[in-house]
Structure formats: C-alpha cells, structure tokens
Amino acid sequence: MKKGRLLLTAAALCAACLLAAKIWAQPAQGEQPMRHGQGPRDGGPCKADIEKFCKDVKPGEGRIMKCLKEHDAELSEACKNRGEKMKAAMEKAQDACQADIETFCKDVKPGQGRIMKCLKEHDAELSEPCKAVRAKAREKMKAARAERKAKAQEKMEEGKKEMPAEGEAK
C-alpha cells in the first residue's frame, strides 16, 4: 500500500509539472517571455545559471532541474525565486488533484502524460479545485497558442512586404 501511495504522489507531481512548466516559462518583471520551442536554456531568469552550472546536461526528463537543485546555494536570486514559484505551483496542483488521482487514476502508470490523460477522461467528475487548476493551465496554453499564431501571422505579413512585386528586381 505504501508503494501505491508513493506512486500516486509521484504521479501527482508529474501532473503538476505541466502547471509548473508554465510558471517557469513566465518572464520575471522586465524580461522577455520565452516562446514556443524554448526551454530554460533559451531565456528566463535561470539562463545564465544553466549555462554556468548545467551546460553539459542533456535537457529532458528533469535533468536540468536536478542540476539546478544540486547548485541551489550558488544560483542567482532571480533563479531561486523562479524555483520557489515552481515549487509552490507544483504543491498547489498536487494538493488540488491528489484525491482525484487516487480516485480515478490509481491503476494508471505514471509517465508520458498518462495521468493527465486519465484526468482529462474524468474531467466532468473531478473535484472543483482540480478542475480549476486544469482550467487555468488550459487557459495559459490557449493564450500561448494564440500568441504563437499572431507572431506567425506577423512574420508572414513582414515576409510579404519584403518580397519584390512581380516583375521587379530584388
């Protein structure tokens, strides 16, 4: 039973990572937001710390996060603050969805988005706090998609302006 509870807690933390990733990507005051396809190496308050302490770490599966945690005492204040925001978001998401994961997804193997898929399949049955956390994450993803679409449209329009008219030389 203890192993099952541990797996559920791990699954809740995995589910919370999606929300935390959104917070990680949010810019601190005065900095540029990260864009789609960017990771912590590409922007944000931890960029310099990652380049300094984790430059040889292969991204993915939490390796950069682990590296940052190993260098916690040496990190910049801005990066430490971002880490605290992520931790708080993960705890909030875990608290909000833990009971739902135990109820609806107890037999689901964590990883590769399986817990999130399970929660989505039971969306109508989820507790209000879990629904609220999921709705907030969906809103942020929707806003990010709209922003990417607007930027792509803007680039297309810029490209059209720079193209010479038919018959004109470059």
Task: Report DSSP state, residue 29.
Answer: T
Sign of the C-alpha dihedral, residues 8, 87, 43, 53?
Answer: negative
Instruction: Tell me the per-residue pLDDT of 51-99, one tens digit each, with 9 for 90 and over.
Output: 999 999 988 877 888 899 899 999 999 999 988 887 887 788 888 999 9
Tokens describing residue 41: 């190496």
**CA–CA separation, 140 vs 131, rounded Å?**
14
**Tens digit of pLDDT for each residue in 26-55?**
444 444 444 333 455 455 788 899 999 999
DSSP 123: G
Residue spans per domain, the chain: 2-157
d(CA 48, CA 28): 14
